[in-house]
Structure formats: structure tokens, C-alpha cells
Amino acid sequence: MTTSCPTLLLSAPASNQGKTLVSAALARAWRNQGLTVQAFKCGPDFLDPMILQAATGRPVYNIDLAMCGADDIATRLYWAAQQADVILVEGVMGLYDGNPSSADIATRFQLPVALTIDASGMAQTFGALASGLFVHQPGLIPAGVIANRTGSAGHGELLRTSLTPDIPWLGALQRQETLALPERHLGLFRADEIDDLEQRIAQAAALLAESGPLPLPPATTFLPVPANDVPKLLAGRTIAIARDEAFCFIYPANLDCLHALGANTVFFSPLHDRVLPTGIDAIWLPGGYPELHIATLGGNHAMRVALQQAWQQGLPILAECGGMMAVADNINQQPGFGLLPGDCSMQPRFQGLGVQFAELPEGRLHAHTFHYSRFETTLPAYAQTSTQRGKPGEAIYRHGSLTASYLHFYFPSNPAAIARLFTS
């Protein structure tokens, strides 16, 4: 049975236009109207979804044609249309940037598109830019434009009148330092690091709703996807998952996948806990920011011993990106947990970026990589991924029961392979 729901994909001409703040403001404005808002993020990003979760009060899922696949996206949108009053999708980079792009997702699933444009230093060109972005791909459904970082109410009115009649005006956010979201080398700060995030989102939402309740976007019809039952390959097994300030890059879909496989999950902090949870069968060290907590990590000798004992006992351990950095011998010449021979060092430019595909004995997995550190080791690579262009990608290391790489695996791409990683 088909289902429909008001849906909006918010994009922009480029990165750094304020998509995340505007998306959060839209979500909160609709939530303030008593609506249930389900947000998604185009691309493999971890940080923007944290902001959107703060705005909506609901987990935010990633949709990416390369990493997740069309069937996974269709399943999640169909589910959302049954659960929510409005679906909001934040795009990635500019509307047509990337392959696949946000525009590709919009046309594939017939999602109405709104633009947010940084209008600082811009007047009537605002309308021309908006028109050009919409007509570049005729299959797009224009749903409106929001002007960001305007100079005054008069500036906003000038921008509004520059639009052609077929492009709705959705409002403006004036430039204010209190609305800007802080950033670091991997992107925005984590939501829980921004002390006044709630005030920023609330203020931005109030500005968008100044003229009255925000109208809902056009409804999109979603088709059901045949159920793909996941066998309970991890039934009765408990997986300990690192989660704290240093280990925070966890796709909600990955947790859902583990639970669908029948696993029990428990969380622990490699930074602050001295022991691992009891009765566990495997360990997952996801990515995050170990480089920002080197002293605390290196000083937790009890956790170092606990992890090494678990590894010596043969517990399967998956270490992804920041997780791999943490289990290396050293990070920036300071001690890590010492499970993986080799040293990590931060570099001034990113060292890996993009969706990649891993062919392992356990099965094929889709993944994403984005890191500024470099790992040097004499340990031979167990496997090597391929990029979307078919070029060699990241190395994957297998050291005893430890599987480690710079990859962030997308578990739903092959639940059976994930189950084997946590049992082999």
C-alpha cells in the first residue's frame, strides 16, 4: 500500500551556506506547531544528524545512493511517511555536488526541493541563482527558497522580490553571530558540545515563523519495499559499543541492524571506564575524536589492560577510523591502547574521503572514510577497498581477532557479513 507525507529536501548552491542550521530551524518550527518531524541527512555525515536530532527529538538516518543504496533509502522513507507528519531531508554540499548528488536523490524519489542561499553580499542575483539551480535539472520539484545571513529586513524583502513567481519564498534568517554553529577539522561540533544549541535552534525557528505558522511542503507518495527479513545471526550475543566524547560516530541504522540480527548492545566509555562490561561476546570501537583526548585515553591504563585481555581471549573487535587510531601503539607519539602495531599522526589535510566498498571473506560491505590522520605500520593489509571509481581505497587490517581500518561500515549494506565480523 502506498503512503504519502509532506516532504522537503533542503539543499544549497554550495557547502557552508547554513543548511544544517536552517534545516534545524525548519524542523523545530514544524515541531513547535505540534507536528512529528522525521529528519534525514544526505551523505555519510555523522555530525549534522546530531544537530537535527536535537531539533526533532528523533534519531536521524543517513540516505546516500552509493553507501546505503536505493532500496535502503526507499525503505526508510516509506517507514518515515507512516510515522511522521512531515519528512525533512538535509542535502550534502551543493545541490548537484557529488556523484550521486542530493539532486539525484530528489529526482529518484520525487522529493520537493527547497534552497537555502547565503545572501550576504547579494541582491537581485539571488533570484537568478535560485532559478538557475532549479532549471538545471528539469525533474526537480521546486518548493521554495530561504535566504540566510541577510543584512536586514529590507535586504530580505529585496531578495524576495527577485524570485520568479514559480519559486515560493520561505523566509529569511538575518546574520547573527548567535546563530552560527561552531566547526572544527571534521565539521560541526558535536551537538552536546554546543552549550547553547537549544537557544540557537529555538531562535532560528522563531525567526522563520515570524510571519505565522510555516506551511507544509508538498506531499510525496512512497511505495512499499518488499520486506528483507534479517536472520537472527547474533541472537544471544552481547556487543559492547564504545560511546563517549572520543567515540561518537555511530549510525542509528547500524544499531538497528545489530538489534535486527538479535544482538544485545551495551555501551561503555574507553575514556572514563576502567573495565569492560561483563558478559560480552564482541567489541565495537566506532570513530570519533581520539586525537582530542589523547592524554585521557593514554592515561587509562586499566582500560588498556582490559582491551588487551579481551583481544588475547579472542573476542572479535571491530575498530573503525578513530577506533583504529585508539587501538594503535601511538597517536601523535602518545600511547594508544596498543592492540594494533603501528602509529597514527594527524596531518594538515584530509587523507581519505568518500564512499568505498570492501570485499572481505565475510562478505561485501559498503563504507565511508573521512580522516586527517595517517597510519604507518609494518603489518600487511588484510584487504583493500575500492572507491566508487574503482581505484584502490583504504587498507583493512586483521590482527588476531581485531579488524581495523579507517572505514565506517554501513551495517545494513550486508547484515550477514557484519554478523560474521562479530562472531569470527
Q: Is 248 a catalytic residue?
A: no
Cβ neighbours, 10 Å, residue 353 = 12
- Grid-cell match 544526505, residue found: 42
CB proximity list for 344: less than 8 A, separation 6 or greater: 291, 324, 325, 328, 330, 331, 332, 336, 373, 374, 375, 376
The Cα 36–Cα 4 span in angstroms is 14
Q: Are the C-beta atoms of residues 268 and 241 closer than 8 Å to each other?
A: yes
Contacts 24+ apart (CB under 8 A), 374-381: 374/344, 374/345, 374/347, 375/324, 375/325, 375/328, 375/342, 375/343, 375/344, 375/406, 376/342, 376/343, 376/344, 376/345, 377/328, 377/340, 377/341, 377/342, 377/343, 378/341, 378/342, 379/340, 379/341, 379/342
- Grid-cell match 578513530, residue found: 322
Report residue 115 as a C-alpha cell.
Answer: 534552497
Choose the catalytic residue: 42, 257, 321, 344. Answer: 321
Q: What ranges in 39-194 are assigned the alpha helix state H? A: 47-56, 70-83, 102-109, 125-135, 153-161
The residues facing 63 across adjacent strands are 42
Q: Are the C-beta atoms of residues 295 and 334 closer than 8 Å to each other?
A: yes
User: Nearest CA to 398 among 362, 367, 344, 354?
Assistant: 362
Q: Which residues are catalytically annotated?
A: 321
